[in-house]
């Protein structure tokens, strides 16, 4: 099931980036809900929020390392992990793969979702964010259970 989730998110990321690049000009912004949601095509050469611009080798290295570590963590069946933990890592893995593909083949990440109150992002970024939130929740939940068992 993990690999199906990864493939679905990765497919959605690739499809939406393809559609954005085919239907928008660079820096063009098209309102979907004026003032709330726009589609704005940008080429992000940095990390989150555009920080560390033009550091592609660093991003490629760290993304590859994260992907390898997540893959082996998901593959490790030595001990049972909570479903939400595996789900969260699946989301992060898919997002990291989606943005790594952009960096390897284009030298930048395609971003296009523009909510006007947040930097422009993409489906892969969303997957990483959702995965990180689920991972934090999973870890907090696990810690709470351990504390309750000790009492």
User: Which one from 13, 102, 111, 114 is the annotated catalytic residue?
Assistant: 111
Check whether 147 has a pLDDT greater than 90.
Answer: no
Q: What integer is the mean pLDDT of 120-148? A: 88
Mean pLDDT (the chain) is: 90
pLDDT band per the 50, 70, 90 thresholds, residue 73: confident
Residue 111 designated active-site: yes
User: Which one from 13, 102, 114, 125 is the annotated catalytic residue?
Assistant: 125
Check whether 145 has a pLDDT greater than 70.
Answer: no
Residue 114 designated active-site: no
Buried b (16+ CB within 10 A) or exposed e, 106-137: eebbbbbbbeeeebbbbbbbbbbebbeebbee
Which pLDDT score, from 0 to 100, does residue 74 have? 85
């Amino acid at each position: 099931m993990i690999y199906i989730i990864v493939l679905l998110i990765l497919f959605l990321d690739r499809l939406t980036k393809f559609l954005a690049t085919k239907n928008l000009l660079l820096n063009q912004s098209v309102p979907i809900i004026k003032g709330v949601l726009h589609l704005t095509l940008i080429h992000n050469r940095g990390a989150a929020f555009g920080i560390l611009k033009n550091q592609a080798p660093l991003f490629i290295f760290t993304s590859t390392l994260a992907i390898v570590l997540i893959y082996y963590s998901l593959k490790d069946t030595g001990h049972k992990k909570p479903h939400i933990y595996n789900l969260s890592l699946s989301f992060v893995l898919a997002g990291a793969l989606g943005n790594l593909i952009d960096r390897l083949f284009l030298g930048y990440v395609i971003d296009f979702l523009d909510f006007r109150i947040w930097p422009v992002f993409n489906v892969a970024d969303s997957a990483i964010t959702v995965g990180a939130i689920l991972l934090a929740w999973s870890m907090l939940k696990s810690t709470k259970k351990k504390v309750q068992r000790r009492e």
